[in-house]
């Protein structure tokens, strides 16, 4: 995510500074080159040695440190950053930024930097709610800073309220979005993900092994590209991606209702969900007692949501399906592509290792109504999502109706 990027992590003096160490590790793990700059007060909460060890770089703390300043001048530090993340950002740091005060290393660098700035406030609830802090935050927003709102809950000072540093995943996602070109800005994208559960009594259901990872990766990457994303998800254990509108459903019928409701306003719809094809004719109100003999459950056919979308799609709307097959991958996928009137279908062979349900990687083929099949190598699902979205962007760029060449 941050390969070849220099992230300047500014740490100011609040109790949440202890979380900044973990943030450095996450940026480094994601390929980033992290330059830590700490205020004098931050050093009371976490040591420069810790941050230096985790980032693998000398930490900038003292503007008048002759040694460090001769190696890397503070203006050079400001210039080298592709992105600045301030976590935690105290009320004091926010106030200094809002008024242009430059009286230590961090604030001086901030005044000299031109890179985008992500501000992650963390402080006591009253300090956060104080109108001076709110006014200062408004000023920063106006200046183009990206604010990652603090969370509510129990604070270190034992008070309840808003002021806890945002989840590190939210900070990472915001950082990633800020660095990603907004190629899907103002586009509305609907993604479906996960399995459906079709209950036949209160404790039993028919489902499939889908974990939702491919659909969640699509929603995550589309949000990073600044799309308005709606994620309609069957039951999964995955965390909702940051910055998407979540719609949780359980059954195929609920998924259909939710998707048909949202579909008319969408520029693109990606059906990555493994929708159950059948549902029990009756969902019994009480648990079915186990008897000696066998049990038969009558199954009814569920509607094909994607085929319905194909019939009713509006002009210019892009429609993408998935085909997971165990045999005759290409023929089966092609048949679905035509039947469901899709722009393209993403086909994967469930028999391949590292592909399909539950894996973190996927190896897919992209099949269009005309033209060659594209075979993509096995990649992390987020990379596959990026490839799929690149192709959707190309379709959206030359908006045309289905069937036109
Ligand atoms: O026909 P099949 O189920 O293999 O097609 C898979 C594609 O159709 C996927 O994109 C899936 O999300 C979608 N689908 C659907 N409604 C169903 C079954 C599948 O939208 N009832």
User: Is residue 123's pLDDT more than 60?
Assistant: yes
pLDDT in tens, 310-324: 999 989 999 999 998
271 within ligand 1 shell (Cβ under 6 A):
yes
Q: Looking at residues 382-392, what average pLDDT do you find?
A: 97
Residue with the bigger pLDDT between 69 and 51: it is 51
Tokens of 329: 């991958």
The closest of 355, 377, 391 to 270, measured between CA atoms, is 391
Q: What is the CA radius of gyration of the chain?
A: 25
Ligand 1 atom nearest to 307, measured from its CA:
20
Q: Which domains does the chain have, with CATH numbers?
A: 6-179 (3.40.50.1950), 188-398 (3.40.50.10300)
Give the mutation target among 299, 306, 307 for probing the ligand 1 site: most ligand atoms within 8 A of CB.
306
State the catalytic residue, choosing from 60, 120, 157, 258.
Answer: 157
Q: How many angstroms is it from 335 CA to the middle of ligand 1? A: 12
Average confidence score pLDDT of the chain:
94
Q: Looking at residues 253-277, what average pLDDT do you find?
A: 97
DSSP symbol at 133: H
334 within ligand 1 shell (Cβ under 6 A):
no
Residue with the bigger pLDDT between 295 and 188: it is 188
The phi and psi torsions of 51 (rounded to 5 degrees) equal: -65, -35
Q: Looking at residues 135-156, what average pLDDT do you find?
A: 95
Q: What pLDDT is attached to residue 125?
A: 95
Residue with the bigger pLDDT between 78 and 191: it is 191
Ligand 1 atom nearest to 324, measured from its CA:
4
320 within ligand 1 shell (Cβ under 6 A):
no
Instruction: Identify the band that residue 179 occupies on the pLDDT scale cut at 50, 70 and 90.
Output: very high
Spatial distance between the Cα atoms of 34 and 4, rounded to a whole number of angstroms: 11
234 within ligand 1 shell (Cβ under 6 A):
no
Q: Residue for token digits 């006591």?
A: 124
Q: Looking at residues 53-71, what average pLDDT do you find?
A: 84
User: Is residue 352's pLDDT more than 60?
Assistant: yes
252 within ligand 1 shell (Cβ under 6 A):
yes
Q: How many angstroms is it from 271 CA to the middle of ligand 1? A: 7
Beta carbons of 214 and 236 less than 8 angstroms apart: no
Tokens of 156: 């270190």
Ligand 1 atom nearest to 303, measured from its CA:
21
Q: How many angstroms is it from 94 CA to the middle of ligand 1? A: 50
Q: What pLDDT is attached to residue 51?
A: 98
The closest of 14, 16, 61, 52 to 34, measured between CA atoms, is 52
Q: What pLDDT is attached to residue 331?
A: 92
Q: Looking at residues 124-148, what average pLDDT do you find?
A: 97
321 within ligand 1 shell (Cβ under 6 A):
yes
Question: Is 176 an annotated catalytic residue?
Answer: no
Spatial distance between the Cα atoms of 286 and 17, rounded to a whole number of angstroms: 52
If you take atom 21 of ligand 1, which residue's CA is the nearest one? 304
Instruction: Identify the band that residue 401 occupies on the pLDDT scale cut at 50, 70 and 90.
Output: very low
Q: What pLDDT is attached to residue 404?
A: 46
Ligand 1 atom nearest to 325, measured from its CA:
4
User: Is residue 403's pLDDT more than 60?
Assistant: no
263 within ligand 1 shell (Cβ under 6 A):
no
Ligand 1 atom nearest to 332, measured from its CA:
4
**What are the E-state strand segments in 124-267?**
146-147, 151-154, 160-164, 188-193, 198-201, 204-206, 228-233, 245-248
Spatial distance between the Cα atoms of 324 and 375, rounded to a whole number of angstroms: 15
Q: Residue for token digits 């900070």?
A: 171
Spatial distance between the Cα atoms of 13 and 40, rounded to a whole number of angstroms: 7
């Amino acid at each position: 995510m941050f390969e070849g990027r220099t992230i300047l992590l500014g740490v100011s003096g609040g109790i949440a500074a202890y979380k900044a160490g973990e943030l450095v590790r996450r940026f480094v793990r994601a390929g980033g080159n992290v330059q830590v700059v700490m205020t004098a007060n931050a050093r009371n909460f976490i040591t420069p040695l810790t941050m230096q060890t985790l980032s693998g770089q000398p930490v900038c703390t003292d503007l008048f440190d002759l040694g460090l300043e001769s190696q890397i001048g503070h203006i050079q530090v400001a210039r080298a950053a592709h992105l600045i993340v301030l976590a935690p950002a105290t009320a004091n740091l926010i106030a200094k930024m809002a008024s242009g005060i430059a009286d230590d290393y961090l604030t001086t660098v901030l005044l000299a930097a031109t890179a985008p700035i992500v501000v992650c406030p963390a402080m006591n609830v009253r300090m956060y709610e104080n109108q001076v802090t709110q006014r200062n935050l408004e000023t920063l927003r106006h200046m183009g800073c990206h604010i990652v709102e603090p969370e509510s809950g129990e604070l270190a000072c034992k008070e309840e309220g808003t002021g806890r540093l945002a989840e590190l995943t939210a900070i990472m996602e915001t950082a990633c979005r800020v660095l990603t070109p907004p190629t899907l800005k103002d586009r509305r994208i609907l993604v479906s993900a996960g399995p459906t559960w079709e209950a036949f009594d209160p404790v039993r259901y028919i489902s499939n092994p889908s974990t939702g990872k491919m659909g969640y990766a699509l929603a995550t990457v589309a949000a990073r590209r600044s799309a308005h994303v709606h994620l309609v998800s069957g039951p999964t254990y995955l965390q909702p991606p940051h910055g998407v509108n979540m719609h949780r459903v359980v059954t195929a019928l609920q998924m259909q209702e939710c998707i048909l409701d949202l579909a008319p306003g969408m520029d693109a719809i990606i059906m990555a969900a493994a929708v159950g094809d059948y549902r029990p004719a009756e969902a019994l109100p009480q648990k079915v007692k186990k008897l000696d003999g066998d049990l038969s459950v009558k199954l009814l056919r569920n509607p094909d949501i994607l085929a319905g979308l194909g019939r009713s799609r509006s002009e210019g709307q892009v429609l993408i399906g998935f085909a997971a097959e165990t045999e005759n991958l290409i023929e089966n996928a092609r048949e679905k592509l035509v039947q469901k009137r899709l722009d393209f279908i993403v086909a994967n062979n469930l028999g391949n290792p590292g592909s399909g349900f539950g894996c973190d990687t996927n190896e897919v083929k992209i099949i269009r109504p005309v033209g060659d099949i594209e075979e993509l190598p096995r990649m992390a699902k987020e990379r596959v999502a990026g490839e799929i979205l690149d192709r959707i962007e190309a379709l959206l760029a030359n908006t045309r109706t289905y069937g036109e060449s």
